[in-house]
A = this chain, B = another copy of it.
Amino acid sequence: MSWENTNVLITGGLGFIGSTLAHDLAELDASVTLLDAKLEDYGANPANVDTIRDNVTIVEADLRDVKDVAPYVTQSDVVFHLAAQLSRTVSNENPATDAEINCQGFLNVLSVAKSATDSPRIVFTSSQAVVGRPASLPFDETTQAAPLDVYGANKRAGELYCNLYYESHGVPTVAVRLTNVYGPRAQLSNPNYGVINNFIAAALRDETLTVFEPGTMKRDFVYVRDITRGLRCLGFEQRAVGERYTLGTGDATTIYDLAEAIVDTAGSGSVKLVPWPDDWESIQVGDLRSDPSKMCDHFDWEPETDLTEGLVETIDYYRDNLEAYL
């Protein structure tokens, strides 16, 4: 795969996955533009791109203003659409904002791509939230949509937008359902984003990692570098156009085991089981585990970093950079 001189736009480029992908692509000599609205609490962190600042272009713009983003979409060969409202809790408390960012914002990207003389490829990151509480596991890209939260419903809308802009307007779109992604560069302290990073923050501060009883709920935790390697396939390979994929490890770990592994790796912190808060129960979805076979079949993609190794790399990163993430 040669990315040399390819014009790449990453929306949400200062965030966790977007900035990690930017590191990959800058190293591969792509011409990388990072677009980010820097919304408070949404995960944008300039520290994420400190070491590649001279190799990328950073633009502060909000996808909700189509005219602000149009020139950047138009001049791209590939757009990785990572910008999103990411919290299920926030999506239920403020559903209109979720729709504004995750529906309107993405539609703005697609409509500009449609109007471009040479439409850029659009890689859309969907979520396991689309499948809700599936009848059987593992789930994959064909599993019926049955979201239990507004976030999941709007991510499903995004998948449908991908289909129709490809089918009806010829925009080369790709959608991919992600499981629970962890790794360096995620924000640590916002309780609405990712149990794993909250746990790491607690462990590094030698605090208690609070696991809701009985802690046996399983999730498919996937390391961010495996995700960005998968995204690069989807941005590059011709076969991906018009398709939908699933990116996860295919394995699952209980929340309790995850917390213990983090405490062990960090060498600090402790794990405590506590009762579920009443108001959280309604959005719990039981176990989740993905089947990423289609990625493997089409592109020989496989997860390469197991949880033990991924936690070591993640905790090492935050130990060295903790100030920037709290």
Contacts and interface: CB of A to CB of B under 8 A. Distances in A.
Interface of A: 64, 66, 92, 95-96, 98-100, 103-104, 107-108, 110-111, 132, 145-150, 152-154, 156-157, 160-161, 163-164, 167-169, 282-283
B99 A104 contact: yes
Contacts of A163: 146-147
* Residue of A104, A146, A157, A167 contacting most chain B CB atoms (<10 Å): A157
B167 A161 contact: no
22 contacts: A64-B96, A66-B96, A92-B169, A95-B107, A95-B110, A95-B111, A95-B161, A96-B111, A99-B99, A103-B154, A103-B157, A132-B164, A145-B145, A147-B164, A148-B168, A150-B161, A152-B164, A153-B160, A153-B164, A156-B157, A156-B160, A168-B282
A145 B103 CA distance: 17
B150 A107 contact: yes
A64 B152 CA distance: 21
Tallying the copies of this chain within the complex gives 2
A147 B167 CA distance: 10
Nearest to A103: B99
Contacts of A168: 92, 148-149, 282-283
B100 A104 contact: yes
A110 B300 CA distance: 44
Given A99-B107, A152-B160, A154-B157, 15 more contacts: A66-B96, A95-B107, A96-B104, A96-B111, A99-B104, A100-B104, A103-B104, A104-B104, A107-B150, A145-B145, A146-B160, A147-B160, A148-B167, A168-B282, A169-B282
Contacts of A92: 168-169
Contacts of A98: 107
A111 B99 CA distance: 13
Nearest to A160: B153
* Residue of A110, A152, A160, A283 contacting most chain B CB atoms (<10 Å): A160
Contacts of A147: 160, 163-164
A123 to B, nearest CB: 18
Given A95-B110, A103-B154, A164 B145 contact: no
A313 to B, nearest CB: 36
